[in-house]
Structures are given as structure tokens and as C-alpha cells.
Amino acid sequence: MNNKKIVLPVGIVAIMVLLAALSRMLPHPPNFTPIGSMALFGAAYFTKKYWAFFIPLASLFISDLLLNNIVYAKMFPEYYNGFVWFTQGAEWIYGAFILITLLGFRSLQKVNIKNIVLSSLSASGIFFLLTNLGVWFGSGMYPKTIAGLIACFTAAVPFFMNTIAGDLFFAGVLFGAYALIQRQFFKPVLINNV
């Protein structure tokens, strides 16, 4: 059975991901960001898997550089002394991003509203669990005990609500914009997948 799929040029998908990443420069509530949505969107629409990893990760890295060295350096000069490539715990954030991309390969083989919402909620959960495990493990803010782990996750719950809201909002923007651009500006290019 043939499955016909309409795709946009890779450059347009890459620009959309980069714009989403750069939206992190705008004022926003803590953790209300496009990070999970960028990973899912890349997994859904980049035709080559290495693009789905490289372009969203590169976009995330560029936005991190700008945030760390322009925004956060002014807000928190006591923590940002000199040029900052990565903030403390970045490996946990990037690890969550990679896991979310892998999730997207599996959960968004068919792009529809139900799969986007479920994938976004799962992405928020992955990000919450992994990054807060990293805070507990590596920051020194919490004792390395079960009580410390519970305290860390409890303190992060308000941020988790923003992560969910951000992932759902930006998934709506990215996937919605993709569908709109497809319909309004491009004649369908049909690719047969067997």
C-alpha cells in the first residue's frame, strides 16, 4: 500500500526550528520554551534522521549561546564571568532533547492532533524527569538521598506546569504553521513511501 506524504523543503523546516529556538530570547515565564516542540517537530518533518538531530540541536546551542552571553550575563553577572559555552547541567538538557527526538521518530510517524498532544506531554515528562534528576545529582542543592530527590522534584513542579504549557503551545505553533505553509504557499510534492 502506498502512503503519499506532502513535504516542505528542508530549508523551510530548518528556518522554522531556528526561529522557534530564537523565540527563547523573548521574555517568557520560566520553562515556557519550545525545546520539546523543536525536537518533536524535527523528528516529524526532517526527511533525514541526522538532520532531525543536528539542526534542532544546533539551533538549541545557538540560542543557548545568545541567552548565556547576552541575557543571563546581564541578569546574573555573578554567575556568568566571561564567555559561556554551556551552563551547568546542559548535558541533562541536551540528553533530554535527544530522547525527545527519539520519541518523536516513534510517536509522530503519523502526524495528527492526538499524536502531537500525547508526544508533547511525553516530551514534557522526559524533560522534567531528566533535567531534575540532573539538578539533584549535580548541583549540590539537594542531599543525595531519597528525601533530597523528592524535595528536588517537588520544588520543580511549578516549572513542570510551564514546560507542559510551553510544549503544547509551541507544538501548536510549529505544526500549525507547517500545515498552513503547506496549504497556502506550496504546491504539493508527492513522495511515495512503500
Spell out the domain ranges in the chain: 3-193
Find the radius of gyration of the CA atoms of the chain.
Answer: 18
- How confident is the model at residue 121, as a pLDDT? 97
The pLDDT, as a whole number, for residue 85 is: 81
DSSP assignments along 151-182, one per residue: HHHHHHHHHHHHHHHHHHHHHHHHHHHHHHHH
**How confident is the model at residue 6, as a pLDDT?**
54
Q: Cell 522554522 appears where?
A: 16
pLDDT of residue 1: 37
- pLDDT in single tens digits along all 194 residues of the chain: 334 445 667 788 888 898 898 888 888 888 899 999 999 999 999 888 999 998 998 998 998 888 888 877 787 777 777 777 877 788 999 999 999 999 999 999 999 999 999 999 999 999 999 999 999 998 888 999 999 999 999 999 999 999 999 999 999 999 999 888 887 776 555 555 44
* DSSP character at residue 70: I
- How far is CA 138 from each of CA 9, 89, 134, 144, 152, rounded to the nearest angstrom? 41, 7, 6, 10, 12
